[in-house]
Amino acid sequence: MIKTLILLISLTLFASEPISPIPTNIKVNLAKAKLGKKLFCDTILSKDNSTACVSCHNLSKGGADSNVVSSGYAHNKGNIQSPTVFNSRYNFKQFWNGRAGNLTEQADGPINNPDEHNMDPQTIEERVNNSQEYKKLFKEVYSTSYITYKQVLESIVEFENALTTPNSRFDKFLRDEIQLTKDEKDGYIIFKQYGCITCHNGINIGGNSFQKMGTFLDYEMQDDYPDRSKITKNPNHKNVFKVPTLRNISKTAPYFHDGSAKNLKEALTIMAKHNLGIKFETEEVEKIISFLKTLDGEQPKILEEI
């Protein structure tokens, strides 16, 4: 009965294609993005020179962290799983609880967080202005003799804007360039029929809404999780998080805000139980995973730049 209801709802809501391919012609300031790439990978932005942005967003592993939580200043542990930075330009908000409205606010957060970089704008400016290399690079990009914190953030954001992964097999399918295999296509149909598409849609196949983890069956809550209620102060927003992107999902384990699912099979089983109120058949899980793997895109071109 529940499966039939979900099917009817999904077919009614999404008569047209609910997913859009990533554009292949995004525009970025390459010089500024390359400078941002250097800053993104530089521990100079942390108080004890131990942590860089890349420490929590591994560019060789889907732009995410393979640990349940990341480590920062003085080996302090975070309290939520670090999401991918790839395609983050397409998220409507940043962070799991949406506390940042754009990538500039997002980049500013970890730098000033005492458990992550534990820095401040003044110290950042002092360090980069004491570096002859950065003085030269910023002079070339900004034509300025003094580096500001605003310019540091701007460069990092330009790099993050360049971290898109176009031309996945599914994007090519949407553009009628290729056909999916039977299992891949069946997996997408199941994905839509059971309502996964209700939350995972749009260009980033997520990242465009807040949803509760545990809509059919309660999911474990912990007070220290930075969920949506930490922003809104609304108790009804406990365990409400920004829906994560599914792009490159096969490369970004572990899954969920708590990193509790070690692989896609576990993630699908948990989501079916807690957010759909159903149990997937083994064959259905296998086919959905086949579809999810078609969402792996090309490596961002900026990572190929020297």
Catalytic residues: 116
**What is the greatest pairwise CA distance in the chain?**
68
CB 215, CB 61: distance < 8 Å? no
- Give the whole-angstrom CA distance, residue 257 versus residue 68: 9
Cα dihedral 103, 108, 110, 113 sign: negative
Q: With the C-alpha atoms ordered 262, 88, 220, 284, is the resulting torsion angle positive or negative?
A: negative
Inter-residue contact 31 to 142 (CB < 8 Å): no
- Report how far residue 194's alpha carbon sits from residue 60's, in angstroms, rounded to the nearest whole number: 32
Rounded to whole angstroms, how far apart are CA atoms 255 and 264?
8
Closest by alpha carbon to 254, among 61, 44, 91?
Answer: 61
Amino acid code (one letter) for 187: G
